[in-house]
Amino acid sequence: MENSKYWKVLVTALGLLLSVLAPPLVHAQTTIVIKADDQFQFAETYFAKGEYYRAIGEYERFMHFFPQDPRVAMARYKIGLSYLKGARFTQAVQSFHAMIEECEDAGLVMKSYFKMSESYVKLKQFSNALSALDGLIKKSSDLDVKDKAYYKRGWIYLEMDQWEKARASFDSISPKNRDTYRLKQLSDDMNKKESLETKNPATAGWLAVVPGAGHVYCERYRDAFIAFLLNGAMIYAAYEAFDHDNEGLGGLIAFFEIGLYSGNIYSAVNSAHKYNRKQKRDFFQYLKDHSMVEASVMRLHEGQALALSYRITF
């Protein structure tokens, strides 16, 4: 009985002690004040490290707490870039579209047009990518910006395998920037396309009447061997089955052989198309590696300047 009284007193005393000590303890915590510079820098650090998900969160925090800061537009642009670099292309398009609609910084709007077009290319929505660049060409009065848009548009047409339109777009670049974009070399390289070796799909299909021959034409020798072997075996098996009056088995084998045989023809034609596509893609990659100039219009305090870099592949 006396023991429980003792505990009650002890608990009450401890409670009182804590209630007296707690406020000073709370006040003893360090108060952190985050300035706009620190917050923006923090977001930039994540962006530079490639931590795009976190970068977006920090840019948004910056915009929330410092809505009057002049870097808010840049933060919004960086959010779009984070989506693009993080391979979230749909969100990137939405982000850049919002920038174009609402941002007052002409330089960032111009960059957003290019990045929106790039995002559409990543999404394989080439017509939208072209529309974005057309919108920029219409809107901008700066010759360097227009030329860069024509140049990018030309490369999108090349990716779409529309070479004449690509040439027309490259030809729209003003004489002033033709040398900087190395258009002469690009044109010479584009002419090499005529000498690309291709396979005729119709020829491949007709050759495949003899199973495997179409594959040989498309330089797929192992596929050709298996096509010849399987079709030969199945035709022979069907013949044997019918010859021994086993119509049921013969019919079943013939049913599968029809699939095998038509598949052999499809495969040969498909192989020819894939061969041609690979040739075109390889050539396009060659063009990109040897003739593409990375152009970026950088905003300077005095105005704008065209910055160019040229990729050299060893």
Partner 1 sequence: MKRPAYILTALLVLSAAVAVAQDDPMKGPWQGPEATDIHRGKAAGPQNVPVALVRFFRKYLSPVDGSECPMYPSCSQYTMTCFEKHGLFMAWMMTWDRLYRCGRDELELSPRVMVHGKEKCYDPVANNDFWWKHGK
Geometric angle at alpha carbon 13, from 12 and 14, rounded to 5°: 90
Shortest CB 237 distance to partner 1, Å: 3
Give whichever of 75 and 230 is closer to partner 1, judged by the CB atom: 230
Give whichever of 161 and 247 is closer to partner 1, judged by the CB atom: 161
Q: Are 77 and 99 in contact (CB under 8 A)?
A: yes
Give whichever of 149 and 238 is closer to partner 1, judged by the CB atom: 238
Shortest CB 257 distance to partner 1, Å: 9
In the chain, how long is the greatest CA-to-CA distance? 110
Token representation of residue 294: 């990375």
Shortest CB 132 distance to partner 1, Å: 17
Three-state DSSP class for 189? Answer: helix
Give whichever of 98 and 237 is closer to partner 1, judged by the CB atom: 237
The number of beta carbons lying within 10 Å of the beta carbon of residue 133 is 24
Shortest CB 18 distance to partner 1, Å: 39
Shortest CB 242 distance to partner 1, Å: 12
Token representation of residue 247: 């119509």
Interface contacts to partner 1, rule CB under 8 A: 50-54, 82, 85-90, 122-124, 161, 201, 215, 220-223, 226-227, 230, 233-234, 236-238, 240-241, 244, 246, 249, 253, 256, 259-260, 262-267, 269-270, 273-274, 277-278
Give whichever of 69 and 284 is closer to partner 1, judged by the CB atom: 284
Shortest CB 193 distance to partner 1, Å: 15
Give whichever of 110 and 241 is closer to partner 1, judged by the CB atom: 241
At which residue do the structure tokens 């005095």 appear? 302
Dihedral of the alpha carbons of 187, 190, 195, 201, in degrees to the nearest 10 = -150
Counting every residue written for the chain, the total comes to 314
Q: Phi, psi at residue 62, to the nearest 5°?
A: -60, -45
